[in-house]
Structure 1
Amino acid sequence: MPPRLLAKQGQDVEDVLGPCTSNGFPHRLANEYTAGSYRACQRRPAAPVRWNRLITERTGLVFSRTDALLVQ
């Protein structure tokens, strides 16, 4: 959901994710989106962490029915 495409539809990221974040979703995947970060992630992936802040950059999200600080 690139913010610029949502803006063309008169929406922003919070319009789309608001219902999810108000119910304990989503959880964020640690990802730097660089070639080097993929190797480290394959060796030792980090557990997804609850994310309730504004999304301002490319972010990997997991939508889970589990409302926990960490999804394992």
Structure 2
Amino acid sequence: SQRDALLEEKTALEDMVEGLQVEVGARYDSGFQFALEQLKIAFHDLDESKLGELDALSKIIDGKLVPFVHADAA
């Protein structure tokens, strides 16, 4: 029936959206890691342990890095 076809299409589209969200997240993180690698090369005297504390999702509040907290967890 048409309803079944639409439900199948909806499920397929939801699966596609989920896959794209995962891919975008992976690319975002990959870009962040690439930027960190560039920092290590350009500023070789940086403390790598400090760079290891950096996270693509951290926010800057009042000049300090603050870990990301998902709105559902707050």
TM > 0.5 between the two?
A: no
Please state which band the TM-score falls in when normalised by the shorter chain: under 0.3
Which structure has the highest helix share of the two?
2
TM-score under structure 1 length normalisation:
0.25
TM-score under structure 2 length normalisation:
0.24
- Whose relative contact order is higher, 1 or 2, with alpha carbons under 8 Å and at least 6 apart? 1
